[in-house]
Amino acid sequence: MNRYLLGIAVAALTLSAGGAFADKSDDTLRVAFTKELESVDSYYNSAREGVVLQRAIWDGLIYRDPVTNEYVGNLATSWEWIDDTTLELKLREGVSFHNGEPFNADDVVYTVNFVADEANGAVTQNNVNWMESAEKIDDYTVRIHTKAPYPAAIEYLSGPVSMYPNEYYAEVGPTGMGTAPIGTGPYKVVSVDPGKHFVLEANTEYHDGPKGQPEIGRIDIRTIPEVNTQLAELFNGTLDLIWQVPSDQAERIEQMGDFVVSNESTMRVGYLAMDAAGRSGADNPFTDLKVRQAVNHALDRETLVDALLKGKSTPIHTACFPSQFGCAQDVTEYEYDPEKAKALLAEAGYPDGFKTEFYAYRDREYAEAIASYLNAVGIETDFKMLQYSALRDLNMKGEVPISFQTWGSFSVNDASAMVSQFFKHGELDDARDDEVLADLDIADSSTDPAVRKEHYALALQRIADQAYWAPMFSYNTNYVFTDEVSYAPTADEVLRFHEMSWK
Sequence-separated (6 or more) residues with CB below 8 Å from residue 316:
269, 270, 271, 301, 322, 471, 472, 473, 474
Return the pLDDT at 22: 55
Burial of 16 (0-12, 13-18, 19+ CB in 10 A): middle
Spell out the SS3 assignment of 158-181: CCCCECCCHHHHHHHHHHHHHHCC
pLDDT for the residue numbered 75: 98
* pLDDT at res. 14: 40
For residue 354, the number of C-alpha atoms closer than 13 Å in the C-beta half-sphere is 20
**In degrees rounded to 5, what are phi and psi of residue 23?**
-165, 130
Question: Which residue from 464, 403, 398, 383 is spatially nearest to 430, judged by alpha carbons?
Answer: 398
Within 10 angstroms of residue 94's Cβ, the number of other Cβ atoms is 8
Residue 136 has what DSSP assignment? E
Arithmetic mean of pLDDT over the chain: 94
Q: What share of the chain is helix, strand, coil (3-state, %, to 5)?
A: 35, 25, 40
With beta carbons less than 8 A apart as the criterion, state whether 502 and 484 touch.
Answer: yes
Give the residue among 295, 302, 288, 246 at the shortest CA–CA distance from 272.
295
Give dist(CA 239, CA 23) in Å, integer.
9
Q: How many helices (H) and strands (E) does the chain have?
A: 15, 18
- The H-assigned helical ranges of 275-408 are 289-298, 301-304, 338-347, 364-376, 388-396
pLDDT at residue 102, rounded to an integer = 98
pTM: 0.86
Amino acid letter, 406: T
Round to whole Å and give the CA distance between 473 and 466.
19
Beta bridge partners of 102: 96
- β-pairing, 86-91 vs 76-83, is antiparallel
Q: Can you give the pLDDT at residue 12?
A: 43
Q: How far apart are CA 134 and CA 109, in angstroms?
A: 5
Q: At 334, phi and psi to the nearest 5?
A: -115, 110
Burial class (CB in 10 A: 0-12, 13-18, 19+), 180: middle
C-alpha distances in Å from residue 12, one per residue of 15, 20, 236, 255, 273? 5, 13, 5, 18, 38
Closest by CA position to 61, among listed 177, 163, 151, 143: 163
The predicted-structure confidence for 31-52, as pLDDT tens digits, reads as follows: 999 999 989 999 999 999 999 9
Looking at residue 21, its pLDDT comes to 55
Q: Which residues of the chain have pLDDT under 50?
A: 1-6, 8-19
Cβ proximity of 473 and 320 under 8 Å: no
Give the pLDDT of residue 25. Answer: 82
Alpha helices, DSSP H, located in 361-466: 364-376, 388-396, 419-422, 434-445, 449-465
